[in-house]
Amino acid sequence: MKLKDSRILVTGGSSGIGKATASLLAKAGARVAITGRDEAKLKKAADEIGAVAIDLDQSRYDDIPGKMKGAVDKLGGLDVLINNAGIGVSAPIGELTAEKFERVFSVNVIGLALLTQEAVKIFRGQDYGHIVNIASTAATKGYPGGSVYGGSKFALRGMTQCWQTELRKHNIRVMLINPSEVPTAFGRADRTERPEVERKLTSVEIAHAIKSALEMDERGFIPELSVWATNP
């Protein structure tokens, strides 16, 4: 697709991978909106990027249709949804609780699916659209303590495959990006960014992967792409 003048919504866009992606796409000429839960942080990031700020907590399901409408109205339409917002909890067997599952799945799975559903209504109507789901290499292989977070990303991977089969006939590309470890604010209570770590990925590598996947000629798409550090 051509990014110039395209309308793109990036969830979780106030920091980390989401912010790097929104910035890269805006520099390519796209009109970009970003979502986040911290309004002050969100507005600061939007001003830096030149994006539209949409305050959204994906676990508040009833807010989703109105927030999507607000984003579409401000962008003048929608061509791409990038599902980047997510939270994580690490808990081994013996420390699992319903609350931990509900908190993570409400954002990473249920809220994400309901937001995507609103985008799909638009995409089906115009017979065109692009969905990029940001999962994790944790969606491809289990690990100790990963029942909650890894489980949510396995669920996202499964939903992505379902949507690919449902939506290809509507000219909607659905792509999954699996980053390996990227030091960001992810999982931090105070949401401050972690410093870069030598030999680990940065948000920029993932942003380039997303941009490249979108820019492929629309006759084809990349169903799933994993990005690893070369020598961690």
**Residues whose CB is less than 8 angstroms from the CB of residue 169 and which lie 6 or more positions away in sequence, other chains included:** none
Query: In this structure, which long-range contacts are made by residues 215-222, counting pairs with CB atoms below 8 Å and at least 24 apart in sequence?
Result: 215/1, 215/2, 215/3, 216/1, 218/1, 218/171, 218/173, 221/173, 221/174, 221/175, 222/175
- Rounded CA separation 179/228 (Å): 7
Cβ distance 156 to 138 under 8 Å? no
List residues with catalytic annotation.
149
Residue type, 194: R
**Which value, to the nearest 10 degrees, does the dihedral of the CA atoms of residues 8, 11, 16, 17 take?**
-50
Alpha-carbon span 47 to 80, nearest angstrom: 21
Distance (Å, whole) CA 32 – CA 36: 14
Beta strands at 52-55 and 172-179: parallel, antiparallel or unpaired: unpaired
Establish how many alpha carbons lie within 13 A of residue 226's alpha carbon, considering only the half-sphere containing its beta carbon.
12
By CB neighbour count within 10 A (0-12 exposed, 13-18 middle, 19+ buried), where does 99 fall? exposed
Q: Report the distance separating Cα 39 and Cα 54, nearest Å.
A: 9
